[in-house]
Structure 1
Amino acid sequence: MNPQLFLAFLVVAAALACTPGVDWAYTIAAGLRQRSFVPAVAGLCGGYVLHTVLLVAGLAAVLAGMPGVLGWITLAGAGYLLWLGVGTLRSWRGASFSVDAAGAAGTQLRTFLQGMGTSGINPKGLLFYVALIPQFVSSEAALPVPVQSGLLGMTFVALAGLVYTVVALLSRTLLQSRPGAARAVTLASGIIMVALGAVLLGEQLLPFAASHIQ
């Protein structure tokens, strides 16, 4: 793999991982509601592992080239974000750093699956893998293209996991002794999820409505 291309990818991938968005919102909100933020971060990374597998298998490009299928994926992602955001908004008053031991295992599994859904169903994540990673793959490199794609994809997974862990640790450190601020951040996280879900939904429904009005 070309070292210069790989270094350039690291810079771009790190910048994207450090950009606040729904992943950040979910990490912070889950960390405030659960005893541990690890299931949330692991779930988000699991979704990007799924994107990596699709990319290596060549399915990501196929899905991206099918507007109808991508549209349905976008609608599913929008609905999921709305559901997740509404759930966060409903629980913001009870944001804390503890959870009953009896329900810890089930809660952690649910948090992991929700995190995986957050990044895995997000069509923008799929398009990121399809549009960006191929720009840093060289056909002249010693490694086959699928191997390069897989390595770059997993590199982003590692970077995202590192950034989300730092975000979760900082948020817990800053908010653990400030329950009022913790509730406010949880509320803001829910609003971000709902807003992004609404934007994704609008991107799909508005053109459809406009075409039928005309």
Structure 2
Amino acid sequence: MHAFQLPNYLYDVNIISVTIRLLLAVLFGGVIGLERGANNHPAGFRTHILVCVGATLAMLTDQYICQYLATNADPARLGAQVITGVGFLGVGTIFVTGKHKIKGLTTAAGLWASACLGLALGIGFYSGAVIAGILIFISLALLPKVENYFYHNTRMINLYVEMDSLHNYRDFVSKIKNMGITVLETHVSSSGPVATSGMAFHISIKLPKSLRFDEIRDMLYDFEGMVLLEEI
């Protein structure tokens, strides 16, 4: 029994159901892709549509094989291959910046979710596809505001620092410890400095409850030998 009481022919492989499923794949893939593209992410409108339509077609092909050619075939075989293949595609959207900041994870996850959405559409799981499509869009378009609110008020901060010398960096670490800031981890950046011929460092700190990073940002930037200071 299906969650949505749709006509039975929509769950079979025929010209009407194939058209509806592929059009829904274009619609949902396009909506998700528009959100990514509008925010200047690597995989946008057309990429998400192609992934979603391709996954839908794979499951349609699976259902067609099981329905008309080999009734004992495994209907999940092509779908499993699609999920694996999209995983490799998603890796292409992930990159690490010179400051060791990882970008593209959300876009890669969005591609993978679009593929799963297409698989649901392709097999005729309309209710799951519609609900998932709405939730995926909400996750990408609206939840970042919630995420930013909590991250803005976090006590744990990762900093990228460029100093003109190792001596001044050691003084910098010593002075922030005297401010009650806990230094959790610090290491030299393997990629080298971006803005100077000095030295680049990554440092993880934990602020006391009485301090906010916005309140001490300018003060940290004024330390002797400081060339660049960014939160990552």
Assess same fold via TM > 0.5. no
More helix by proportion, 1 or 2?
Answer: 1
What's the TM-score once normalised by structure 1's chain length?
A: 0.33
**Larger RCO of the pair (alpha carbons < 8 Å, separation 6+):** 1
What's the TM-score once normalised by structure 2's chain length?
A: 0.31
| Bigger CA radius of gyration | 2
More strand by proportion, 1 or 2?
Answer: 2
